[in-house]
Chain A
Amino acid sequence: MRVYPPSTTLRIAIIIWTCVTSGKILANEHTAFVTCPIARDIGPQSDVCFIAEYNGKTYGLFDPNGYNRPMLKHKVMVEGEVIDGEMICGATRINGVLSVMREEISPECNQILPDDGSVRTKNNNLFLRMPEEHRQRAFKLMAQVADNPEASLQEAIYDPAPFPPVKPPYVRQMLNLHYPFNSKRSSGPELRKLLYLIHYAKFSGGHFVVKSYQGATRLDNGEVMEEKSGMAEERADMFAELLIELGLNKKDYSIEVQPESVAATGVGDWKNRRISVELNPAE
């Protein structure tokens, strides 16, 4: 065991004490707060990105869960883990989720920072997000345009390949779909996972067990924000409608609603706003 001299120990203690008492968030520490988002212009060929100032520090707001980007005129709830050293939108990244507070308008949230050249994002070209095979086809067509302008009307954005057939042995499948605060809109990527689960069930057979939850979030300032009453039921109703629209029969699934908000702990509370789906393949 390494022993630090008393002066170093004291220094470390002072740093920790300063951070704790000033309310600043340490790297990899969980944080949750509600504030106005600030839009930042990052150049003529880019979308804006968003930051938030909280307790004297600036955070880059990243939406990993599909399109749920912050909106001026509305506050945003930020929940996640501070990722030290990773920058987004010119500020420290928080790995977590964003919820736009849609219930009321906040006209004071209306700041756009002009482009100062300090932040540039990766090229957002659609082609660069495509599978390699599709990208190569698109680039090949682009090379043809000078000689054959009609190539510019050919298909460049392709449908993804259909899910491959599923082979036995079939095993239990689990999926969690997460929701923004007071929202029942699922994200695109999670919907794709649900579609795969339904595809899986076409081969495996079986029964879906669905549980719908609502949550509460303990903010850093101690305030607990609870989702509105009945949110879990609203999510369940919408999800049942979704399953029927996707071709399931009522006998194919059961839905259980947890009407009480899962208690907030201040760490990862956003994970409680969810619908969990379990597919138990037929025997």
Chain B
Amino acid sequence: MYNKYLERLTKTCITMLVCFSVFLANAAEQSGSWWSPGDDRVFPRFSEYQNASGRFGIINTAGPIDTSKHPFFAAKGPNGRACVTCHQPSDAMSLSVSTIQQRWRDTKGTDPLFAAIDGSNCPSLPQGKPESHSLLLEKGLIRIAMPWPPRPFNGKPIDPEFSIEVVRDPTGCNLDPEWGIDSPSSAISVFRRPRPVINIAHLMELPHGVPPFNNFFFNDAMPLPKGPDTGLTVPQQLMADGRGLTPKYQATDAALTHLQLFDALSDNDLEEIEAFERQIYGAQSFDNLAGDLTSPESPPGLGPQALVISPKARLGNNPLNKIFGEFSMWASTADESQEVQQDKVKAFKASVARGSEIFREVRFYISDVGMYNDKGLGNPFKRSCGSGCHNTLSMGMDLSPGFMDLGLNNFPWQNRRSDLPLFKITCRDDVQPQSFLGREIYTHDPGRALITGKCTDVGATMTQQLRGLAARAPYFAGGAAANLRELVDFYDRRFNIGYTEQEKADLVNFMRTL
């Protein structure tokens, strides 16, 4: 009797202990996933963060950092934000919409992330109401106020080749008397996803092996610009519209706008921010089906270590590199239906291997892409995802570098969005028109044209690295694809590719492991 009682008590204690441990683990996970500015935490040499597909891993090559006073992590401006607010380690140093929604729930919309300036659809809207923050909450979009006409960059004045008219303004911000195009500060509000601040060392390397375009911009065959802070030629890969040429320049711009800092960051702060950004490398490190992506049996291009060892800014669309390296160790010739029944893991790995091959080998007509087909490649240009626009070894962005209008912003290809502003661009008669849309263009975001003032640049944005995709949905600069399947569907429709259901699934599986 006593023994039975003791046995039951022991079982109860063990159960309670297990439950408590799980609770503690969950609590640690919850508090560990969101980094608030000024958290007294250490950014370790290696860290992993949970996402729906597995875990995202970050290697910090300089070793542990005390973040309590680090300028990337410490609140600098009056709105309480830091760089980390929009570049969360758990989200591949970007910000997923699921994280944003969780943060809204956790703080009832009071987190600095939701600051009126750009965390709401427009600062003039009543703050704290979900509908005033709908673009951030539903699509993960931050408001970017671009000066109009464009401010000179590189010391050269800009004479815009087009006029811009606000056709529809669902946020109210483009016609707002204080914030809009006719306001004293005359700005165009566009809404974009925060780009991942990871693997920046790759993005800041000038292209190799493509002479003379290691130093020249492919589109106009003129030298690539020089960083205003360094005087050195820079590759323009950093930002969607190329306005921030170096990490320091980007940080300065972000501090003055998103952080609402009155004065520029100190040189010391900028040094620390740039050093941090250049020393962190990230990729999905664990997949719920495939397991440890960093094991010796996994494809060498998976996991964050691949980014550390991989040569930077090299063309990867060749028989050796295959963009993301060899995947054949996961390939399987077994009958697929049998695999699914016998071994889900094996079937998933085989799907990933097939996806990598589809990514780099299945060609389709890339046509009518402004700033791409018209830079000399021809229209159409028959390439695959990997041999076309995502050709850079281990990173998958466009090495050239690739500002282009895939139809993600401009009509008629864009999913018509009722939540985004719509602009009508009218190009002057004496300038070269946008190659495929002409002189009258409807767009949700004029993109690069808001920097250069050129008609040919309307709607063009920089291709994105493909790392950490599982951690940072939604995709595309305007958040148009809620998940990887929607991303594949967009391309399938845009370029009339005709992927089979299996091919789409394989591509999705491949991309989620990156």
Contact = CB atoms under 8 A, between A and B. Distances in A.
B222 A245 contact: yes
B317 A105 contact: no
Contacts of A138: 318, 320
A120 interface: no
B438 interface: yes
Given A47-B382, A157-B208, A195-B212, A71 B373 contact: yes
Given A149-B300, A149-B329, A102 B374 contact: yes
B232 interface: no
Given A102-B374, A149-B299, A242-B222, A160 B433 contact: no
Contacts of B216: 188, 191
Nearest to A68: B376
Interface string B345-369: 0000000000000000101010110
B321 A153 contact: yes
B326 A145 contact: yes
A75 to B, nearest CB: 12
Interface string A164-186: 00000000000000000000011
A73 B434 CA distance: 12
Interface residues of B, number: 53
A67 to B, nearest CB: 3
A154 B315 CA distance: 11
Q: Is the interface of A mostly helix, strand, loop or mixed?
A: loop
A154 B213 CA distance: 21
If over half of B's interface residues share one DSSP class (helix, strand or loop), that class is named, otherwise mixed; here it is: loop
A210 B445 CA distance: 41
B363 A149 contact: no
Contacts of A39: 378-380
A158 B211 CA distance: 10
B186 interface: no
A34 interface: no
A104 B433 contact: yes
Nearest to A238: B222
B314 A157 contact: yes
Nearest to B435: A102
In this complex, the member of B212, B301, B381, B393 whose beta carbon has the largest number of chain A beta carbons within 10 angstroms is: B212
A13 interface: no
B317 A126 contact: yes
Interface stretch (B74-82, B303-311, B413-421): B303-311
A191 B382 contact: no
A211 to B, nearest CB: 19
B315 A126 contact: yes
Contacts of B394: 153
Interface string A182-209: 0001111001100100000000000000
B320 A48 contact: no
A152 interface: yes
B209 interface: yes
Contacts of A46: 363, 382
B424 interface: no
Contacts of A72: 367, 379-380
A192 B211 contact: yes
Contacts of A126: 315, 317-318
A116 interface: no
Contact of A67 (B311, B326, B376): B376
Nearest to B224: A245
Contacts of B383: 47
A125 B326 CA distance: 17
A160 B377 contact: no
A187 B221 contact: yes
A150 interface: yes
B20 interface: no
Contact of A188 (B212, B223, B363): B212
Nearest to B212: A191
Given A47-B383, A103-B432, A105-B438, A125 B318 contact: yes
A227 interface: no
A48 to B, nearest CB: 5
B321 A127 contact: no
B322 interface: yes
Given A127-B318, A138-B320, A69 B301 contact: no
B325 interface: yes
B321 A156 contact: yes
Contacts of B223: 242, 245-246
Contacts of B443: none
B221 A153 contact: no
A120 to B, nearest CB: 14
Contacts of B299: 149
B70 interface: no
The winner among A67, A71, A195, A245 for most chain B CB atoms within 10 A is A71
A103 B433 contact: yes
A142 interface: yes
9 contacts: A48-B365, A48-B381, A69-B376, A105-B435, A152-B325, A153-B325, A157-B208, A157-B209, A192-B211
Interface of A: 39, 41, 44-48, 50, 66-74, 100, 102-105, 112, 125-127, 138, 141-142, 145, 149-160, 185-188, 191-192, 195, 238, 241-242, 245-246
Interface of B: 208-214, 216, 220-223, 299-301, 306, 309-311, 314-315, 317-322, 325-326, 329, 361, 363, 365, 367-368, 373-383, 393-394, 432-433, 435-436, 438
Given A152-B326, A157-B210, 11 more contacts: A41-B382, A46-B363, A50-B378, A71-B378, A127-B318, A142-B319, A145-B320, A152-B325, A153-B321, A185-B220, A238-B222
